[in-house]
Amino acid sequence: MAQSELEKMQAGEWYSCLDPELTVMRHRALEACHEHSVLYPAERGNIGPKLRALFASCADDVRIEARFHCAYGINIHLASDVFLNVGCVILDTAPVKIGRHSMLGPNVQIYCADHHRDPELRKQHLEIARPVTIGDNVWIGGGAIILPGISIGDDAIIGAGAVVTRDVAAGATVVGNPAKPIAR
């Protein structure tokens, strides 16, 4: 029996992102993100109820400022005391794990989807999902972009506007495009 596009995505294989089942799942995530964004803060609390229910795992004390966007939500794991500031985007075609006490500044973007390099295959909307892992006590400055397949070690700092194209060691500080280590 042939694998569904969702099964291919979850297995880390090439899949078509314009699949009807995946479209329904993205629509569910859009609705949850919309609810989170339009609820009055006192009513929403730290996270809108539909958004919290969508996540793979989410500690009780996680806070996500509105506006927030995710592709599916089902691949997002948020440990205790995580904070996502306004405008964060997580394109979670693969697991995204954010460790305890980590903070993401405004407009941080995390991408798991990587598109095919062959232009003919790209026309077929093929992409592959690569996980992103962010350790404990990481600080990611506003406007930073984390590319597919990246791991960021505990206690690392990602400078504002950095484009992270390679793994970041525990305790390292990286800045720039592409992000490079600097002394603390």
Interatomic CA distance for residues 125 and 83, integer angstroms: 33
Using CA atoms, how far residue 144 sits from 11, 72, 79, 90, in Å, is 27, 21, 20, 12
* 157 closest CA partner among 126, 180, 132, 125: 180
Q: Where are the alpha helices (DSSP H) in the chain?
A: 5-10, 20-38, 41-44, 49-54, 119-122
Backbone angles phi, psi at 122, to 5 degrees: -65, -35
Catalytic site includes residue 115: yes
Identify the active-site residue in 69, 101, 115, 125.
Answer: 115
Interatomic CA distance for residues 98 and 45, integer angstroms: 20
Indicate the DSSP class of residue 168.
Answer: B
Catalytic site positions: 115
